[in-house]
Structure 1
């Protein structure tokens, strides 16, 4: 059996930062994201009874060490659920840089979850597939769905993502790729260090649910300004929490700050734009679709060495072909 699936990255507007349960990837707080219509991951899972171990290829390179073990552990979950024992060949291609804080793990494990579930014969609805994807990468639970997506905290059964209706709200995002290489501190290490040592983390955990409620209210009223302001505020709070950890976790670079300042200047010039950053130096700017070209042009003036990706709301995970023997 083999199956191929494709999933898009999502960018959190209300962030996930901190685990209530490391093994199950259960978040301390809920989160909310926008699935993009660009830069998908495509993954093929092919079962082979002749293999003694799983084989994992990413972008044409055979993975080993921890990255390969992460995929193998995930496939063990799928095998346990399906009752099958065959190992698999996994061939995956990311169109977004890997490990750079650009949600490659979200799209990657969402695509892997869908392809592996199909190849091993699991019949999962969206909620169950989201719970499965969460075990590989927390944010992958959100890439199962398109558009605006909310991920719930709670126990294993309750922690899944689901789409949020957003009538009248049309969003675009300009992604400024300052550094495409892997970040210096992994998200997992940074998250663990922050939760263990930052004196601000308790405040983050307490305030984020309130911001999530405010965000849902803003979405329900198609209030773009409130959505943007909450997006930028939540991101700045997360990075302040990380900066207070010890040793400090500081992802923004001088180039990042220049783009944050440029986003503020765009607002001063009457173009509504709001910046957000995840675990990495790259900057994402939320704006209206009609303003995306002007936002990208202004950011490119500030940093002509950056690469840019403009996106709108995208679809959820999808199978590219049906499983076949």
Structure 2
């Protein structure tokens, strides 16, 4: 019997998602825009099996604890209910990306789980419907349903807060991911986000400015204006981290090598190499660049970082079904 596996790639937000207006439904406080990457992904299968006593979840071939399994079970119930299924499930997931290290493992993980649950339940959901479901597992997962540049539209309610593809990114675009630290972070994105929204005096300004950033970056993408796109990406990411520094207590995911990487990007720009940095809720730095410049940029970073810390990524594709 062939096993069907669903692969979803991570995405890196260029216009950030930071803050919810509804915690339970994971409705964002603003729209966001991302680039799906080919280098990091999750493969997941779901099989309903009445011989099991309860849902059983393996991540990277390791049986997961009750807390992790309950989170997956709650998400699977969103699919089981409309399908009229009550059987326990065997969930097998392999992360080709460090978990909870600020490299969007939850985005690829929950998007792959949504796709695998859809297959197992024979629901035949559209990509838009899958995007709505994936959002309930992880906000950024709503964007990993698609490849290329993707916008998560904040919407007005749970029914219209989903992602839409913007551009297939089939032009000279790449990203160098600088893995400063692949360990699990001390404060999750969800906790950091909540604390920032509730306590940072800068947060309202962030929301006001990010709406305009989204309009401008979509124009830049449409015109394939790499410099403008990069400038907006870098500015938007730093504004998000500024809101965290204004939280109580202040929050920073940066490490010394994060700053080293950002400074090197600025230095490369001064030398005429067009590249821009962004960071999510973690210490790792993503360098947006032209794919044709990526090896040259990697070589410069290799003078200050180990080769295994440097990963070149191309634009990735949307959900894909594999057979094993």
Smaller-chain TM-score range? over 0.9
1:145 pairs with 2:149: no
Aligned match of 1:158: 160
Q: Aligned residue for 1:233?
A: 235
- Cα distance in 2 for partners of 1:68, 1:251 equals 27
Does the CA-based 8 Å contact 1:169-1:219 persist in structure 2? no
Q: Secondary structure at the match of 2:187?
A: coil
What's the CA shift for 1:251? 0.4
Structure 2 length-normalised TM: 0.96
Larger mean Cα displacement after TM superposition, 303-312 or 17-26: 303-312
What count of residue pairs does the alignment treat as equivalent? 322
Q: Is the 8 A contact 2:147 2:168 kept in 1?
A: no
1:81 aligned counterpart, secondary structure: helix
How far apart, CA to CA, are the structure 1 residues paired with 2:266 and 2:163?
Answer: 31
Q: Hey, what's the Cα distance between the residues in 1 that align with 2:130 and 2:221?
A: 25
- 1:238 and 1:81 map into 2 onto residues whose CA distance is 38
Which deviations, in whole Å up to 9, do the C-alpha atoms of 1:177-202 show, x marking residues without a partner? Answer: 11111011111110010001111011
Unaligned runs of 5+ in 1: none
Contact kept in structure 1, 2:57 and 2:69, CA below 8 Å: yes
- Distance in 1 (alpha carbons) for counterparts of 2:107 and 2:170: 26
Report the Cα distance in structure 2 between the residues aligned to 1:262 and 1:306, rounded to whole angstroms.
Answer: 18
Deviation at 1:92, TM superposition (A): 0.5
Deviation readout 1:251-306 (Å, 9 max, x if unpaired): 01111001000000010000001000000000000000111011111122123376
1:176 matches 2:172: no
- Structure 2's unaligned 5+ residue stretches are none
Q: What is the RMSD computed on CA atoms of the aligned residues?
A: 1.5
Contact 1:204 / 1:241 at 8 angstroms: preserved in 2?
yes
SS of the aligned residue for 1:9 comes to: strand
Q: Which residue matches 1:320?
A: 322
Alpha-carbon contact 1:141-1:161 (below 8 Å) kept: yes
What do residues 59-85 of structure 1 show as CA deviations (whole Å, max 9, x unaligned)? 111111432221111011111121211
- Rounded to whole Å, the distance in 2 between the matches of 1:168 and 1:319 is 22
Q: 1:168 to 1:119 in 2, by over 3 A?
A: closer
Q: Determine if contact 2:128/2:164 at 8 Å carries over to the other structure.
A: yes
The whole-number CA distance in structure 2 between the counterparts of 1:20 and 1:171 is 33
Q: Does residue 63 of the first structure (1) align with residue 64 of the second (2)?
A: yes
The structure 2 residue matched to 1:185, chosen from 184, 187, 203, is 187
Superposition pairs for residues 1-325 of structure 1, below 5 Å? 3-154=4-155, 155-165=157-167, 169-304=171-306, 307-321=309-323
Please state how far the C-alpha of 1:168 moved relative to its aligned partner: 7.2
Q: Measured at CA, do residues 305 and 147 of structure 1 come closer, stay the same or move farther in structure 2, by a change above 3 Å?
A: closer
Per mean C-alpha deviation after superposition, the further-off stretch among 206-215 and 76-85 is 76-85
> 1:169 touches 1:223 (CA, 8 Å); kept in 2?
no
Q: Is the 8 A contact 2:172 2:292 kept in 1?
A: no
Aligned to 2:177, the other structure's residue is in SS state strand
Q: Deviation per CA, 1:17-54, whole angstroms, max 9, x where unpaired?
A: 00111111111100000001112210011111222321
Secondary structure of the residue that 1:219 maps to in structure 2? Answer: helix
* Displaced runs of 4 or more, over 3 A: 166-169
TM-score normalised to the size of structure 1?
0.96
**1:20 match: secondary structure:** strand
